[in-house]
Structure 1
């Protein structure tokens, strides 16, 4: 599974940025418009709300799990979540957790 997590982390980093770059090409680095676009209609708003809630739950899970010494610390993965997305941060965390488990 470790290699699957790595592949998914890479895909989860590349695919969202294809869309982000498309937005930036069309609209420039217009952060207010980007945030507004996340909730432009019910479908987009539903996906955005789901992603925000899922990200928060992931953060809580990582902080709880980080109390075990063999688990990765959450701060790097929160940064990845905020700058790339949950689709990269979650499999990257699972990859790091698998790697740490294999070294113990």
Structure 2
């Protein structure tokens, strides 16, 4: 059941942020300077920007620590998904794949 929740959150974590990002791209192109100006336009948007940046760093550490511990493959994919789609995409994707890995390990050990 938790795998389905992670998968649904992964889809939401991609679709919802991109529903905001795509109109920006269509209107301004990939204007990185404008993107960061708008991201840090005021204290509230800066709060969310900083929160996402720190959360991304935490996710990267978690992915490499937990992924290595569980002998998961291609850990770079989750970092790329985080950069490409955000924490709301990369984290539930990693948690979904982590659950799959834990299930495989349990089957191998006969649980």
Query: Gaps spanning 5+ residues in structure 2: where?
Result: 106-111
Specify whether residues 25 and 67 from structure 1 end up closer, same or farther in structure 2 by C-alpha distance, changes over 3 A only: closer
Pairwise CA distance, 1:56: 0.3
Secondary structure in 1 matching 2:22: helix
TM-score, normalised on structure 1? 0.91
1:6 aligns with 2:7: yes
Pairwise CA distance, 1:29: 2.3
TM-score, normalised on structure 2? 0.86
Query: Gaps spanning 5+ residues in structure 1: where?
Result: none
Partner of 1:27: 28
In 2, Cα distance between the equivalents of 1:73 and 1:39?
A: 33
Task: For 1:62-81, list aligned pairs within 5 A.
Answer: 62-71=63-72, 73-81=74-82
In 2, Cα distance between the equivalents of 1:49 and 1:91?
A: 20
1:87 aligns with 2:96: no
1:36-70 CA distance string (max 9 Å, x none): 21101000000000110011011111211122244
Partner of 2:101: 100
The 10-residue stretch of structure 1 (49-58 or 18-27) with the greater mean CA deviation from structure 2:
18-27
Structure having the higher Rg: 2
RMSD: 1.4
Partner of 2:17: 16
The 10-residue stretch of structure 1 (64-73 or 16-25) with the greater mean CA deviation from structure 2:
64-73
Pairwise CA distance, 1:82: 0.4
| Alignment: residue pair count | 104
